[in-house]
Amino acid sequence: MTFNDLKLSAPLLKAVSEAGYETPSPIQAAAIPPVLAGRDLMGCAQTGTGKTAAFALPMLDRLTANAPRRKGAVRALILTPTRELALQIGESFEAYGKYLKLRSTVIFGGVGQAPQVEALKKGVDILIACPGRLNDLIGQGFIDLSALEIFVLDEADRMLDMGFFDDVTKILDRIKNRTNLGLFSATISQEVMTVSWMYQRDEVEITVAPTEESKPDIDQYSITVPRLEKEEAMLRILRSGALERVIVFCNTKVMCQRLSDDLRRAGIRADCLHGDIKQATREKTMADFRHGKLPVLIATDVASRGIDVDDVDGVINYDVPEENEYYIHRIGRTGRARKKGISFTLLGSFPEKAKLDEIAKFAGFHIVPMIFDEYGCLVPAPAEEKHPTSRRRF
Ligand code: AMP
């Protein structure tokens, strides 16, 4: 298949060819025709699969082919969780749309809003935005979404996992007459399904397997220790100095607090996030972790939402998570932005081992079993004997 077969217009074909793309990637081949036809789309795909062009190319074609509903109003919106992604998508739109007369701009928080407001005042067709700043600027009356035609939620799982569920639904509720809703997500979590169920109509579902390059690069280990020695095992990993920024996950608030107190007593800078921590303290802890002042953060699954730090070196699962999806989310905190990550799961009992085996099977992960040897070094566990040889009498 070629881009020509996908019936894209000549200016787009020219831009695509100048970008050096020869053939459409699987998600592009599958997503471009339904988006061109105005269908809603649920795409299960990761960064690195070519998903940006999969929604950008048909979106640009549709916007060019159809007359705007109202001059000067935003016609297409791409919502994405982080500033880095927003900027990357912005660059892609510039490249693919270089022979078209459509204007795009990128808005995100953490910087002054004046230049973004200036750009908006000049009129933009395509807006690429992070949810927090978008809601701020809508609230201040700088953005009118009433003539929006196409809406894409990019990295929906990560966005919803970061606690943007209410922001996202607030934005979706404002849009009455859109024609396309595209939802792209690496995993289809419960919240992603809820958004799809609430806002999509007769959507086309597409799943593409992650390419080798797009898979997060995380070395996953399990460590079997006697139940009462889990804390000692965690301290050994933390003290080895191999990891500069670590998140330790526990299943309960009580365990989070206890570990945090114990680590501090042991002279390790650590703090915890759980449901009973006040908002102001929580924000300070997150800022310290983000800025590298706090090397160890201990969190429950729910409290860890909203932590968006790209260079977490490692994750330690002090407890094996109760839900399979939690494991994927936990280890997904590391190995981001094309860096290598590492995860350790401590196993102190047979039920914990059994649960981790189930998770590995569910997610298709290879988790390497390790133990501490007599010198305290982490070494591969001896292979389990599947069929223990029966004792022989001679
Ligand atoms: P994405 O998954 O959208 O982040 O894209 C990953 C990378 O693949 C980007 O650097 C794109 O420029 C590149 N890319 C996207 N589509 C194609 C294609 N059809 N052929 C070659 N490279 C592509």
pLDDT digits (tens, 9 = 90+) for 148-180: 999 999 999 888 888 888 899 999 998 887 778
Is it the case that residue 230 has pLDDT exceeding 90?
Answer: yes
Buried/exposed code over 72-90 (b: 16+ C-beta within 10 A; e: otherwise): ebbbbbbbbbbbebbebbb
Nearest to 346 by CA among 330, 364, 366, 369: 369
Half-sphere exposure of 99 (CA within 13 A, CB side): 13
Is it the case that residue 66 has pLDDT exceeding 80?
Answer: yes
Ligand 1 atom 5 nearest Cα: 50
pLDDT at residue 284 in the model: 87
Tell me, in angstroms, the distance from the centre of ligand 1 to residue 48's CA: 6
Enter the pTM of the model. 0.67
pLDDT at residue 388 in the model: 47
pLDDT at residue 336 in the model: 67
Contact 120, 137 (CB under 8 A): yes
Around Cβ 34, how many Cβ atoms within 10 Å?
Answer: 19
Note the pLDDT tens digit of each residue in 332-371: 888 766 578 899 999 999 999 999 999 998 888 899 999 9
Tell me, in angstroms, the distance from the centre of ligand 1 to residue 47's CA: 9
Ranges 6-15, 22-31, 220-229, 385-394: which has the least confidence: 385-394
Determine the average pLDDT of the residues in 15-39.
Answer: 94
Determine the average pLDDT of the residues in 204-210.
Answer: 84
Determine the average pLDDT of the residues in 216-240.
Answer: 91
Share of the chain above pLDDT 90, in %: 58
Is it the case that residue 305 has pLDDT exceeding 90?
Answer: no
pLDDT at residue 74 in the model: 94
pLDDT at residue 212 in the model: 59
Is it the case that residue 293 has pLDDT exceeding 60?
Answer: yes
Ligand 1 atom 14 nearest Cα: 50
> Which parts of 83-179 are beta strand (E)?
104-107, 126-129, 150-153
Q: pLDDT averaged over the chain?
A: 88
Around Cβ 61, how many Cβ atoms within 10 Å?
Answer: 21
For 285-292, the CB contacts below 8 A with 24+ separation are 289/245, 292/244, 292/245
Angle at 319 between CA 313 and CA 321, to 5 degrees: 90
pLDDT at residue 391 in the model: 46
Higher-pLDDT residue of 52, 212: 52
Tell me, in angstroms, the distance from the centre of ligand 1 to residue 24's CA: 9
Is it the case that residue 389 has pLDDT exceeding 70?
Answer: no
Is it the case that residue 265 has pLDDT exceeding 90?
Answer: yes
In terms of Cβ atoms closer than 10 Å to its own Cβ (0-12, 13-18, 19+), residue 309 is: middle
Mutate to test the pocket of ligand 1, among 8, 21, 98, 152 (most ligand atoms within 8 A of CB): 21
Read off the pLDDT band of 290 (50, 70, 90): confident
Tell which atom from ligand 1 comes closest to the C-alpha of 214. 2
Ligand 1 atom 16 nearest Cα: 50
pLDDT at residue 274 in the model: 86
Ligand 1 atom 22 nearest Cα: 21
Taking the C-alpha atoms of residue 330 and residue 216, their distance in angstroms, rounded to an integer, is 13
Mutate to test the pocket of ligand 1, among 25, 84, 94, 213 (most ligand atoms within 8 A of CB): 25
Tell me, in angstroms, the distance from the centre of ligand 1 to residue 21's CA: 8
Which residues contact ligand 1 via a Cβ below 6 A? 21, 24-25, 28, 47-53
Is it the case that residue 373 has pLDDT exceeding 50?
Answer: yes
Is it the case that residue 385 has pLDDT exceeding 60?
Answer: no
Cα 152 from chain centre: 15
Maximum average pLDDT range among 7-21, 275-289, 336-350:
7-21
pLDDT at residue 278 in the model: 82
Could you give the 3-state DSSP secondary structure of residue 76?
strand
Taking the C-alpha atoms of residue 341 and residue 313, their distance in angstroms, rounded to an integer, is 5
Strand 41-44, strand 180-185: pairing: parallel
Is it the case that residue 387 has pLDDT exceeding 60?
Answer: no
Tell which atom from ligand 1 comes closest to the C-alpha of 28. 19
| Amino acid making up residue 391 | R
Instruction: Look up residue 167 and give its two tokens.
Output: 């922001």
Read off the pLDDT band of 256 (50, 70, 90): very high
Phi/psi at 351 (nearest 5 deg)? -60, -35
Ranges 46-50, 107-111, 130-134, 280-284: which has the least confidence: 46-50
pLDDT at residue 332 in the model: 82
Could you give the 3-state DSSP secondary structure of residue 332?
coil
Mutate to test the pocket of ligand 1, among 52, 89, 158, 206 (most ligand atoms within 8 A of CB): 52
Contact 133, 109 (CB under 8 A): yes
